[in-house]
């Protein structure tokens, strides 16, 4: 009687492990890929489309250029002195 109980527990654990391996390597990546493909499409019903149509932040892009005024001293280990161009 005791041996059968251990065999049932072992069979249950083995079944759970096999299910976990199959789900982790085969089913989960396929499900995740299909959900991402469905959500990332720019169709009219997705949230991504709504965010894409109205951008929640300003599109300002600024570039600053600086010139080293003491390049020789910087190569010797001094702190750089920069001037914006």
> Average pLDDT for residues 71-82, to the nearest whole number?
88
Q: What are the Cα distances from residue 10, in Å, to 1, 7, 23?
A: 15, 5, 20
Phi, psi (deg, nearest 5) at residue 68 = -75, 125
Range of the domain at 6: 2-84
pTM: 0.39
**What is the number of domains present in the chain?**
1
Contacts of 83 (CB under 8 A, 6+ apart): 66, 67, 69
What is the phi-psi region of residue 15: left when phi exceeds 0, alpha when psi lies from -120 to 50, beta otherwise? Answer: alpha
How confident is the model over 12-61, as pLDDT tens digits? 899 999 988 888 888 888 888 988 888 777 777 777 777 777 777 778 88
């Amino acid at each position: 009687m005791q041996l059968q109980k251990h065999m049932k527990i072992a069979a249950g654990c083995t079944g759970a492990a096999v299910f976990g391996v199959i789900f982790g390597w085969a089913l989960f990546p396929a499900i995740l890929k299909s959900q991402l493909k469905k959500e990332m499409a720019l169709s009219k019903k997705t949230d991504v489309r709504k965010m894409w149509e109205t951008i929640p932040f300003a599109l300002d892009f600024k570039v600053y250029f600086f010139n080293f005024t003491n390049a020789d001293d910087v190569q010797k280990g001094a702190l750089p002195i920069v001037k914006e161009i």
